[in-house]
Amino acid sequence: MTEADLDVLFDIQDDDIAQHMAAFTSSDSGERDSYVAKWRKILANDEITKKVILVNGEIVGSIGSYVIEGETEVTYWIRRDLWGRGIASAALAELLREVTVRPLFARAAADNAGSERVLLRNGFTRVGEETSYAEARATEIAEYIYRLDDPPTAG
């Protein structure tokens, strides 16, 4: 991911339906200048893994990992018209080959069945639930927490 990708990524994420499904967005998610400023800081941080997702050479989303409160989490976003085609699952599988920290965590709105499928297909297990404020929905909602551990070793 480079700064040149940010305008395309903003346009992908500036989608009310997708934001509702993602639920946990920032309060200024619809403001291009704030988005670019925030992502410039992220791009400058070598501790954060950030990648664009390409299909036939076209940016269709983003994926990455970051540490929050001592735990490494993954995040991804796919352009809404491409949901359900296995793109997020494939992108996450590729990221997991590069990001080898375990345990690895993910979070998703409890009603985001598509994101749950992506995580379960990649070996994550639902390990918890909490109620959190979802900016895109302007209310508290249930959020599922997922965990990926090392695969069992053959013995």
CATH of the domain at 33: 3.40.630.30
Question: pTM, whole model, 2 decimals?
Answer: 0.92
Query: Does residue 155 belong to any structural domain of this protein?
Result: no
The per-residue pLDDT for 62 is 97
Query: Does residue 8 belong to any structural domain of this protein?
Result: yes
State how far the Cα of 13 lies from the Cα of 95, in Å rounded to an integer: 20
Digitized pLDDT (tens) for each residue of the chain, 155 residues in all: 999 999 999 999 999 999 999 998 876 667 899 999 999 999 999 999 999 999 999 999 999 999 999 999 999 999 999 999 999 999 999 999 999 999 999 999 999 999 999 999 999 999 999 999 999 999 999 999 999 997 654 44
State how far the Cα of 72 lies from the Cα of 66, in Å rounded to an integer: 5
Quote the number of domains for the chain. 1
Query: Does residue 154 belong to any structural domain of this protein?
Result: no
Query: Does residue 61 belong to any structural domain of this protein?
Result: yes
H and E: helices and strands count for the chain:
5, 6
Query: Does residue 69 belong to any structural domain of this protein?
Result: yes
State how far the Cα of 53 lies from the Cα of 113, in Å rounded to an integer: 21
Query: Does residue 153 belong to any structural domain of this protein?
Result: no
The per-residue pLDDT for 18 is 93
CA count, 13 A, side-chain hemisphere, 131: 3
CB atoms within 10 A of CB 126: 15
Structural domain containing residue 8: 3-148
Q: Are 87 and 106 in contact (CB under 8 A)?
A: no
Closest by Cα among 25, 27, 42, 32 to 7: 32
Q: Which pair of structure tokens corresponds to residue 17?
A: 């339906």
